Amino acid sequence: MNTGKGILIGAALLFTTAAAHAQSMKNTIKIGALAGVSVPSNNAGAAAGLDIAYQNLVTPHFGLGVATGYQHHFAKENDLSGIKLDNNSFGVVPVAALVRYYPKAEGIYIGTDLGYGVVTGDEKVATNNTTVRPDGGFYLKPEVGYHNRNWNIFAHYSKVFTGDKGTINIGNASQKYNTGIIGVGLAYNIGLGAGR
pLDDT tens track for 93-126: 999 999 999 999 999 999 999 999 999 999 999 9
pLDDT at residue 40, rounded to an integer: 86
pLDDT of 23 > 60? The answer is no
**Phi/psi of residue 11, nearest 5 degrees:** -65, -40
105 and 146 in contact (C-beta within 8 Å)? no
The domain spans of the chain are 2-191
- DSSP secondary structure of the chain: -HHHHHHHHHHHHHHHHHHTS---SSEEEEEEEEEEEESS-SSEEEEEEEEEEEEEEEETTEEEEEEEEEEEEEE-EEEETTEEEEBPPEEEEEEEEEEEE-SSSSEEEEEEEEEEEEEEE-SBSBTT--PBPP-EEEEEEEEEEEE-SSEEEEEEEEEEE-TTTT-EEETTEEE-----EEEEEEEEEEE-SS--
Residue range 2-191 forms a domain whose CATH class is mainly beta
In angstroms, rounded to a whole number, what is the distance separating the alpha carbons of residues 110 and 49?
A: 20
| pLDDT classification of 12: cutoffs 50, 70, 90 | low
102 and 145 in contact (C-beta within 8 Å)? no
pLDDT at residue 196, rounded to an integer: 43
pLDDT at residue 25, rounded to an integer: 79
Q: Which residues contact 93 (CB under 8 A, 6 or more apart)?
A: 3, 68, 69, 70, 117, 118, 120
Residue 173 has, within 13 A of its CA and on its CB side, a CA count of 11
pLDDT tens track for 50-86: 999 999 999 999 999 999 999 999 999 999 988 999 9
pLDDT at residue 22, rounded to an integer: 39
In angstroms, rounded to a whole number, what is the distance separating the alpha carbons of residues 82 and 162?
A: 26
